[in-house]
Amino acid sequence: MYYINPSVMNIEACSEKKQVYFKNLKFYIHTFGCQMNENDSERIGGILAKEGAQKSNSLENSDLIIVNTCAVRQKSEEKLFSFLGRLTRMKKNKNLIIGVVGCVAQLHQAQLLEKNSAVDFVLGPDNYRGLNQVILKHFGEKFMAIRWSRQWKEIPPEHVLRESDISALVTIMEGCDNFCSYCIVPFTRGREKFRPFPNIIKEVKHLADNGYKEIQLLGQNVNSYRDSFSGKDFSALLRDVNSIPGIEWIRFITSHPKNFTLDIALAMKEGEKICPQLHLPLQSGSSSVLRRMNRGYTREDYLEKIKLLRDLMPDISLSTDIIVGFPGETEKEFQETLKILEEVRYTNIFSFRYSPRPLTSALGMTDDVPFEVKKRRLIEVQQLQKNLQLEKNKSMIGRVIKVLCLGKSKKNPQIFSGRNQGYQVVNFKSPKDLTGEFTPVLITSCGPHSLQGETANHS
């Protein structure tokens, strides 16, 4: 590891005192970005808790604040910097340690320490294991660790401090070799690295023993998973995870269309616990834009995979990511994205305006779609999708569906909230607390983003 900068804080360099200090430490982790970041934060939290530090639920009540960051769009970075401004003001009145970890840490490295005097340490996504020793050793100094390792760094499942005790995130690979021309991830997360197969199975068994009902396998491109020892691939992993007793629903994210094979689709169909639900990022409905994005498939290839999936699993729930206003995107190319949304009829989409990112090859293309046009295209995509979702959701009224209850609704504690197999949010009334249980729900109404109903036939 590589450390920089001399001591700036005044905590004594006695390791025993540091350990005592650590035990009394209250920490708070603020997470921006994707589910992998959420799982990383759970792992970081577990490492700190193992050392005796206590997780706090409030920023104000904490001695150590770690910000886990996302660099995928400029806006994600801006959110970090405004949050850091708030922490800097807090630090003026108390003894606070601030760490920045994750993708922005990897991207800006020492600049984060230099520009933000309040930041005490910077850790890249591959430097979390051993964080406890690192903090203990370098307490009172500014430090940074941003090295990538070629090897998977296992954090034992019992040292993960999970946010949910019903649904668990399980990281199976990290990094990306695809270099889509707009994407910063290969530069922040590094090349693909696969978690050893037996470790994944061990973690899922551990979760099943601890009463978890649902797991989500995570990676930037789970479809390219391959165990370096046995050579087993992602479909083999799905089949083995499916055979673990206790876990009832299995999901995975993210899939790359070019690596999504018939074998994976068959493993989904045959695995009775694998939810018929798939997030398959399209990015653009135009083959020429896809070529400029370096996505490795055409509009036709993508639609063929969707057909294959629907032939095998007619009720499959599909979601996607869309970027509008990529360099050179013409009105005709944009219309092809709208057309494909009508054709596929996704359950949900995530849509973004193209945001030029450092180090990416698209930075060499002229960002020639005016901001106003990007804005208008995004609204068009979102409006169309909203109508399509509403139509789809309305067709579910009157049906009874199986829902995993995840707890009380945040907006209204009188009702419960959960998800169905298709990963749709379902808010429902129930005479008793069903948190952590599966329940049939009769759908009585809907909006574009959620279904509403009441428990049906629950004994």
Where do contacts with ligand SF4 occur on this chain (CB under 6 A)?
176, 178-180, 183, 185-186, 220-221, 256
Per CB under 6 A, 72 contacts ligand 5AD: yes
Q: Which of the listed partners (ligand SF4, ligand 5AD, none) does 73 bind, with a CB threshold of 5 to 8 Å by partner kind?
A: ligand 5AD
Q: Which of the listed partners (ligand SF4, ligand 5AD, none) does 323 bind, with a CB threshold of 5 to 8 Å by partner kind?
A: ligand 5AD
Q: Which of the listed partners (ligand SF4, ligand 5AD, none) does 352 bind, with a CB threshold of 5 to 8 Å by partner kind?
A: ligand 5AD
The nearer residue to ligand 5AD, 183 or 204, going by C-beta atoms, is 183
Q: Which stretch binds ligand 5AD (CB under 6 A): 53-61, 121-129, 339-347, 350-358?
A: 350-358
Q: How far is the CB of 369 from ligand 5AD (least distance, A)?
A: 12
The nearer residue to ligand SF4, 125 or 186, going by C-beta atoms, is 186
C-alpha of 36 from chain center: 4
The nearer residue to ligand SF4, 47 or 71, going by C-beta atoms, is 71
The nearer residue to ligand 5AD, 75 or 432, going by C-beta atoms, is 75
Q: How far is the CB of 321 from ligand 5AD (least distance, A)?
A: 3
3-class secondary structure per residue, 161-220: CCCCCCEEEEECEECCCCCCCCCCHHHHCCCCEECCHHHHHHHHHHHHHCCCCEEEEECC
Q: Which of the listed partners (ligand 5AD, ligand SF4, none) does 176 bind, with a CB threshold of 5 to 8 Å by partner kind?
A: ligand SF4
CA–CA distance from 85 to each of 66, 101, 143 (Å)? 14, 16, 20
Binding-site member from 143, 197, 346, 352 for ligand 5AD (CB under 6 A): 352
The nearer residue to ligand 5AD, 28 or 182, going by C-beta atoms, is 182
Q: Which of the listed partners (ligand 5AD, ligand SF4, none) does 354 bind, with a CB threshold of 5 to 8 Å by partner kind?
A: ligand 5AD
The nearer residue to ligand SF4, 221 or 385, going by C-beta atoms, is 221
Binding-site member from 47, 66, 101, 183 for ligand 5AD (CB under 6 A): 183
3-class secondary structure per residue, the chain: CCCCCCECCCCCCCHHHHHHHHHCCEEEEEECCCHHHHHHHHHHHHHHHHCCCEECCCCCCCCEEEEEECCCCHHHHHHHHHHHHHHHHHHCCCCCEEEEEEHHHHHHCHHHHHHCCCCCEEECCCCCCCHHHHHHHHCCECEEECCCCCCCCCCCHHHCCCCCCCEEEEECEECCCCCCCCCCHHHHCCCCEECCHHHHHHHHHHHHHCCCCEEEEECCCHHHCECCCCCCEHHHHHHHHHCCCCCCEEEEECCCHHHCCHHHHHHHHHCCCECCEEECCCECCCHHHHHHCCCCCCHHHHHHHHHHHHHHCCCCEEEEEEEECCCCCCHHHHHHHHHHHHHHCCCEEEEEECCCCCCCHHHHCCCCCCHHHHHHHHHHHHHHHHHHHHHHHHCCCCCEEEEEEEEECCCCCCCEEEEECCCCEEEEECCCCCCCCEEEEEEEEECCCEEEEEECCCC
Q: How far is the CB of 149 from ligand 5AD (least distance, A)?
A: 24
**Residue whose pair of structure tokens reads 């070799």 in the numeric block:** 177
Q: How far is the CB of 276 from ligand SF4 (least distance, A)?
A: 23
Q: How far is the CB of 180 from ligand SF4 (least distance, A)?
A: 3
The nearer residue to ligand SF4, 41 or 220, going by C-beta atoms, is 220
How big is the site for ligand 5AD, counted in residues (CB under 6 A)? 12
The nearer residue to ligand SF4, 3 or 179, going by C-beta atoms, is 179
Q: Which of the listed partners (ligand 5AD, ligand SF4, none) does 355 bind, with a CB threshold of 5 to 8 Å by partner kind?
A: ligand 5AD
- Between residue 320 and residue 349, which ones bind ligand 5AD under the rule CB under 6 A? 321, 323
The nearer residue to ligand SF4, 73 or 374, going by C-beta atoms, is 73
Q: How far is the CB of 185 from ligand 5AD (least distance, A)?
A: 7
Which residues contribute to the site for ligand 5AD (CB under 6 A)? Answer: 72-73, 182-183, 281, 283, 321, 323, 352, 354-355, 357
